[in-house]
Amino acid sequence: MNTALKAGLRTVALTALLAPALVLVPGAAQAAPSGCSGRYNLEYQNTYAVYCGTGSGEYRAKARCYRIGSENYTTRYGTWKRPGGTHSTVFCQSNEEVASGSWELRG
């Protein structure tokens, strides 16, 4: 058997031995926050609060704030929170009201 053929067979054999080690094992899937609910604060019309009870990652409140007496809307955000902790609350300015509220998830 010539030298080039022997070297080629060694490469094939080595690749066959190492191939199982190259199999990628997926990591644990990250579960996004779940069990989320949002509510408008009836006492103060310029806040919206969100709470997510389970999962991992983070969530935050998001509100579309309406400037009273105009047609201008501004999107505002609460702070990022972890599920099972405290509410994420977004505050519109004192001359604004919450037109709509929702939440964002990450991780």
Contacts of 101 (CB under 8 A, 6+ apart): 38, 40, 48, 50, 61, 62, 63, 64, 90
Task: Read off the tokens for 101.
Answer: 């509220």
Residue 99's nearest CA partner among 78, 54, 57, 68 is 68
d(CA 18, CA 14) in angstroms, rounded, equals: 6
- In this structure, the number of other CB atoms found within 10 A of the CB of residue 66 comes to 19
Judge contact between 101 and 75, C-beta under 8 A: no
Residue 48's nearest CA partner among 59, 58, 56 is 59
Give the pLDDT confidence score for residue 13 in this predicted structure: 40
CATH class assigned to 34-106: mainly beta
User: pLDDT category, 42, cuts 50, 70, 90?
Assistant: confident
Flag whether pLDDT at 95 surpasses 70: yes
Rounded to the nearest integer, the mean pLDDT of the chain is 80
Work out the average pLDDT over 29-54.
Answer: 89
| CA distances to 26, 27, 59, 104 from 30, in Å | 11, 9, 14, 16
Question: 1-33: per-residue pLDDT in tens?
Answer: 554 434 443 443 433 433 443 333 344 455 799
Question: 75-90: per-residue pLDDT in tens?
Answer: 999 999 999 999 999 9
Give the pLDDT confidence score for residue 38 in this predicted structure: 98
- What are the structural domain ranges in the chain? 34-106
Give the pLDDT confidence score for residue 30 in this predicted structure: 56
